[in-house]
Amino acid sequence: MGAARCKSQVDWAFKEPGSWTMAVQYIDRDLNYSKPTLAVLEVVLPWQANPAIMMPAGAGVLGLLVWALVARAL
């Protein structure tokens, strides 16, 4: 007899940010099904993929690099 497989976690990579709805249903060992439950997930970009964060940070790093090169040349 094989072991029952139970999935209590979901590993899913969303392709785009936004509002997503996930339906969850429980099935016990006697094959009794629960009512589906809906969960609304709000997916956002990770900070390193957000241009509103990376553009100013990149400009700051570039500014520090230019300042270091100018200070070194003086």
Q: Tokens 């072991």 sit at which residue?
A: 3
Q: What is the pLDDT of residue 71?
A: 96
Instruction: Report the C-alpha gap between 23 and 36 in whole angstroms.
Output: 6
Q: Where exactly are the structural domains of the chain?
A: 18-73
Query: What one-character-per-residue DSSP string does 31-61 give?
Result: -PBPPPEEEEEEE---GGG-HHHHHHHHHHH
Instruction: Report the C-alpha gap between 10 and 29 in whole angstroms.
Output: 20
67's CB contacts (< 8 A; 6+ apart) are: none
Average pLDDT value for the chain: 86
Categorize the per-residue pLDDT at 1 as very low, low, confident or very high, splitting at 50, 70 and 90. very low
